[in-house]
Amino acid sequence: MTHSPQGNVSRWIDRVFGVCAAVAVAISLGGIVGWSASAPLLTSYVPGATAINPTTAVALGAVCVALCLVRREQVRRRRRAVSRTLAAAVALLGAYSIAAYLFAIANPFDQLLFGSLLQGNRIAPNTALCLLFLGVALLALDGVGRGSVAVCQSAAAAAAIVSFLSVAGYAYGTRWLYGVPSFIPMALPTAIGVHALAMGIFCSRPRQGAMAAFTSNSFGGVMARRLAPAALAFPVGLGWTRLLGERQRLYDAELGVAIYAVTTSVGFLVLIWWCARKLNALDEARLAREDELWESAQRIEDLYNRAPCGYYSLDEAGMFVAANDTVLTWLGYVREEVVGKLRFPDLLTPAGREVFAYQFPIYKQTGSVDNLEFELARKDDTTFWVLLSSTAIRDADGKFVASRSTVFDITERKQAQAELQRLNEALEDRVEERTAALSATNRELRQKNDENEMFVYSVSHDLRAPLVNLQGFSQELAASADELAALWQANSASPAAIDRTLEILDEDVRPSLRFIQSGVMRLSTIIDALLRLSRAGRVEYQWERVEVAEIVVRIVDSLQLSIAEKRASIHVGELPPAWGDAAALEQIFGNLLANAVNYLDASRPGVIEVASLPSADGDAGFVTYRVKDNGVGIPALHQAKVFQAFQRLQPNLASGEGMGLTMTRRIIERHRGRIWLESVEGEGTEFLFTLPAAPAEGRAETSAKGDLIHAR
């Protein structure tokens, strides 16, 4: 199990802080207890030396409490307020004590505790200066900016230097180092306590200012931590040893200096060797770690570049800042052509750029996006589909830095989806075609059923009257024949019998024969019409492009005699060509134009218009034609019957059996068109119908041409 170097340094600093705080507390409590119990060893440590002032002991304790309250950077406001209050009190105590020395005024604060026992013991000038430094350092401990850090550590360093000189002065027996002449010197416990508190202030903020150089994980920090204790303790301790030997007259001053110099050199050489050895070990470990990291980085880079999916990163503007080999291979670019040169929208289709412009600002706010589909353009302008997911990388302030995006090539999946969609659409088209064909068949069957019912009704209605006539006149003939037979059996040749015979022949037999012949002709006509109508659905058409204008011209020419008799005029407009059987289309226009001429109003000149109209939305691919007249018109109640067989609303105006419009509708419907009318009685009638403009897709409409039905 490995340990973090940073964690080791932090534990070392925590231990040093704990030792400093414990020393300060021990000196503070020891001073108070020593004065209370009259124990000089607790107040001075050295017999006959200056004792720590009780007020100074209390001040050191207050500094220790204030420092412990703000040991961590994140503390409650109340604890910080208490710490600042104690620090300010200590700083004011030190400042006032210095002022008392400078201006020769009384200082009642250093006589507050154990005044009767102090016997002139006061707060020393260098002690007052150290208290001021400690208070200022604590007040600036949590200030804002580098200036506060500099003030804090400078004040703590000043207190540490003054106290260190005092400790050295006691060690070497030199009053100049721990006391100002003519004034009380700093007590040894005070010097140790001040130095411990100064070190504690440094340890409370180890990552700031000058202290950061000692707590760093760099080689400089390691070297500083190893050399600093030796640099402080070794010369001082060696100097004290040399001075002790000279005082004991073990050697003279020259030999002492030589021993000091040589020992110092050797000691530092050993220290440098030891540090170098440790640093070499650290460097070897670092190099080994770097090799491991480099190998790991190579593996990660290889995994990044050769992954089966694409990886890339975009900056805030959408510019590529990184891309792996996979996505570059897909795009057909090299890294130098993409990174720092292209934006992601540069590789998108117009539709993809719209999606990116909408989604990218939202993504930078939310920080993630999943399963977006984009069509990317390769360098050779071909395209492929990708599925994109991404998460945002942000800095410490939460600002967007870059994207971490993953893309998968889903071109095959999109192609499969497109093929599946195509098959589904084809299936739907086939279903629609089959449904339409089935619907058409059903409509045709319903139509045929309706027509069959109509035929049955018409035949039963129209054949009944001739049959009744035939039956009645047959009976008349039978009676007349019986009477003639009776006359001639009586061998009566009288003139009366002859006259009666002639009368029977003229008044009974001949009219009866004439009515029988008329009924037979009517039945023959009806039967012929039924035959033509039954054949209309079985005629095979020859499909072709038919010039409708030419057909209409021929029909108008054939109707010139009827047009002249009716004092009518026919106006022919633009007539686009249609797709169908030419003879069948001529029959359509012939029936409609003949009806228009036959049913003109004799009281006014007839006007007939033949033209085309724009097709409605539901008639795309068809041409709409019109045949309009100003004839007698059709009553509204009878308009629904005009296309039924044997329906002649005004038989006195024209001859026929009422099959022309029925045949016309049947032919138009076989051409996949439709016919309808608009009529006002007394004003005229307009027939409108549609015919295909081009062949129907996927439908063979060419066959052998059979017989055509021409109905009137």
Q: Where are the domains of the chain?
A: 5-213, 218-301, 310-409, 419-536, 544-692
pLDDT 10s digits, 341-390? 999 999 888 888 898 999 899 998 898 889 888 889 998 989 999 999 99
Mean pLDDT over 320-325 rounds to 90
Q: What is the predicted pLDDT for the residue at 227?
A: 73
**CA 457, chain centre distance (Å):** 69
> Confidence class of residue 436 from pLDDT cuts 50, 70 and 90?
confident
Whether residue 385 contacts residue 409, with contact meaning beta carbons closer than 8 Å, is answered with yes
Identity at 438, one-letter amino acid code: L
Distance of CA 491 to the CA centre of its chain: 119
Strands (E), 452-584: 544-546, 568-572, 578-580
Amino acid at 462: D
33-91 pLDDT per residue, tens: 999 988 888 888 888 888 999 999 999 999 999 999 888 777 788 888 899 999 999 99
Q: At what angle do helices 146-172 and 188-204 cross, to 10 degrees?
A: 150
For residue 657, CA distances in Å to 347, 448, 469 come to: 76, 20, 19
Q: What is the pLDDT of residue 458?
A: 53
pTM of the model: 0.46
Lowest mean pLDDT among 124-138, 469-483, 559-573: 469-483
Nearest CA-CA partner of 504 in 528, 487, 526, 525: 487
pLDDT at residue 526 is higher than 60 = no
Same CATH fold assignment for domains 310-409 and 544-692:
no
Q: Assign domain 544-692 to a CATH class.
A: alpha beta
pLDDT at 271 over 80: no
Question: Is residue 26 scored above 90 in pLDDT?
Answer: yes
Q: Give the pLDDT mean for 185-199.
A: 92
* Percent of the chain's residues with pLDDT above 70: 83
Confidence of residue 535 (pLDDT cuts 50, 70, 90): low
Q: Which fold has domain 310-409?
A: Beta-Lactamase (3.30.450)
Q: How confident is the model at residue 465 (pLDDT cuts 50, 70, 90)?
A: low
How does residue 469 score in pLDDT terms, banded at 50, 70 and 90? low
Over 50: is that where the pLDDT of 593 sits?
yes
